[in-house]
Amino acid sequence: MPADKRDEAYRGVIDQLVAYHLIAQEARSRKLAATEADVDARLTQIKQSFPNEDAFKQGIAAQGLTVENLRTQTRSSLEVSKFIDNEVNAKIVVADAEVGTFYQQNLDRFKQGETVHASHILIGVPQNAPPAQKAEAKTRAQAALNKVIEKRAPRTASLEEVGGQIKQFLEQGQREKKLDDFVTQAKSKSKIEILV
């Protein structure tokens, strides 16, 4: 990787780590800290993906972790999730009118060209079948194919068809903006030193 791209990648990773820790810190200050029971439950889930306790310890050791390191990381991860659920996801609201407006303003995104629905039809014949048997199988396959192929003319998908996807897209946009706004505000109030 070229040096300038490597530095850009490092900076991106560092920014994500800073954001992650700022959110975890804020979660604790808002009394959204993970309980020991929460941490134990998550660790149990992680352990279940390994065949036994030794394999679990070897697996985390291969990542340079101890059980205590993993416990700390798990606690932070749960706290970040709690913050996002309570302070971001719970406050996201996308009204039906917004979905309709987005649909009307982006109709080109929902245009579909002609589509063909086809199926593979396999009618078996022995490898050394006589030509008449092969011809009969081909005729049967062609007849079946003429019942199952459907052509659809070019069309624009209706709001009812794509409304759910639009709502998810708009919710994701709100989620990202709320998180970005929080991280920007938290950074402005915090003393952050990057030493690399």
- What is the pTM for the complete model shown? 0.66
> Which pLDDT belongs to residue 148?
52
> Which pLDDT belongs to residue 170?
97
> Which pLDDT belongs to residue 195?
67
- Averaged over successive runs of 10 residues, the pLDDT of the chain (196 residues) comes to 79 88 90 92 94 92 92 94 92 95 94 71 74 80 64 85 96 94 88 72
> Which pLDDT belongs to residue 118?
62
- Percent of the chain exceeding pLDDT 70 equals 91
> Which pLDDT belongs to residue 117?
64
Question: DSSP per residue over the chain, as a string?
Answer: --HHHHHHHHHHHHHHHHHHHHHHHHHHHTT-PPPHHHHHHHHHHHHTTSSSHHHHHHHHHHTT--HHHHHHHHHHHHHHHHHIIIIIGGG----HHHHHHHHHHTGGGGEE--EEE---------TT--HHHHHHHHHHHHHHHHHH-EEE--EE--HHHHHHHHHHHHHHHHHHHHHHHHHHHHHHHS------
